[in-house]
Structure 1
Amino acid sequence: MNKKENIFSRYWHAYGGFSALMTSYYFWISILISCLLYPFWSREGWWDDVLGIMPDLVGFSLGGFAMWIAIGDDSFRQLISGVNEDGTPSPYMEVNASFVHFILLQILSIILALFAKAFYFPMPKNLFAVEIVDIWFDYIVMLGYFISFTVFIYALLSALAATMSIYRAASWYDAFKGQGTKEKDKNDNNTIP
């Protein structure tokens, strides 16, 4: 890790970068769900649901992130942390990046919903100049709504990704502790009474 590298660059590297985003099933499923939910986000007011759901989810996520940091003991955390020899992020940092990605998406979805709500205004339909510009304006607005809603859905699905990362880490810890128990039992059986 380059100490001068900015924190967002470190997160993005640990997450896997653009290739991880483009190969994420959660990302593509978010796009599909957004397409299917066109009747919902193509109308005014969809942003109220985002603004009602996401702040609570951000608080819950930060609590979950704190719990993840507390999983395991020092020897386990030492085993899964530290930069790999090939320069790739450690499993510990990959799980952290998954959680950070999840939280950043939630915050971004709140910001995008706030922009959608703040800049919503119906165009008057009885002006000639508005009729000419209106079709392009509608396309631009729909594209913005689609992107914003997709980020919201992706944030929700990232909850599943973060949960599975925690579960994976818990299974590592279980295997680690199980291995330690087997070694202890083996040593106990080899001692002479």
Structure 2
Amino acid sequence: MYRDVRENFAVYWHAYGGVRALVRSPYLHLALVLTAFAYPYWSAPLWWDTVISVLPNLLGFTLGGFAMFMGFGDEQFKRTLVATDPDAPDEPTLFVVVCGAFVHFIVMQCAALLAALLAKAWWVYVPWPEPIARALPWLNLLGGCVGFGLFLYALTSTLAATMHVFRMATVYDKVQRMRQQLEEAQERSRTGH
């Protein structure tokens, strides 16, 4: 069971592009800049309430959009999407790459939501030993930065997933145009015009 989960995550991570794609992502860079600008917000308690109120709706919308994407196009178009590149047979197909973008978007939403729920659950007074008590404000600050940063990355990933869907739409448009041109050429050839 765990091996299957690990293998699924490995396939997703490869389709997404791995660490290289993550580090080079303009959506991650934008989220980091937004996190810096949002310091007054996440450096104070209760930042998690925004995350908890926004992400469940976004997550539901994303899952619905992913389901719609899975049903997009006719069978011939779907065969085009899953065609492997003869020059790179081990690389993921366009279909898997787009699915990987959606999965990444969903994983980031789940990570941000879990971070917010844990932050809210742990925001209680406990008489900690002195070394921990001194470090606690810094740990809270770090937790707020990471948690809210994940939230902002989940939001900027919305744009990334949207652009992947747009890419699919342009591919679909090209396939349909080529199909139409082929049909017109066949008709001209058949009728002699």
TM-score, normalised via structure 1 length:
0.90
Query: 1:121 Cα deviation (Å)?
Result: 2.7
- CA–CA distance in 2 between the matches of 1:42 and 1:192? 73
Residues 1-193 of structure 1 correspond to what in structure 2 (within 5 A)?
A: 6-85=7-86, 86=88, 87-122=90-125, 130=130, 133-192=132-191
Q: Which amino acid aligns with 1:139?
A: W
Report % sequence identity. Answer: 34
Q: Is the 8 A contact 1:41 1:149 kept in 2?
A: yes
- CA–CA distance in 2 between the matches of 1:43 and 1:161? 29
Query: 1:84 Cα deviation (Å)?
Result: 3.5
Q: Which amino acid aligns with 2:189?
A: N
Question: How big is each residue's C-alpha offset from its partner over 1:98-151, in whole Å with a ceiling of 9 and x where there is no partner?
Answer: 000001111111100001000013578xx9x74x65442211221111111111
Q: Which amino acid aligns with 2:110?
A: I
Q: Is the 8 A contact 1:123 1:134 kept in 2?
A: no
Query: 1:178 Cα deviation (Å)?
Result: 0.6
- CA–CA distance in 2 between the matches of 1:166 and 1:25? 17
- Aligned pairs, how many? 187
Report the secondary structure of 1:191's partner residue: helix
- CA–CA distance in 2 between the matches of 1:180 and 1:33? 44
Unmatched runs of 5 consecutive residues or more in structure 1: none
Q: Which amino acid aligns with 2:101?
A: S
RMSD after superposition: 2.0
TM-score, normalised via structure 2 length:
0.90
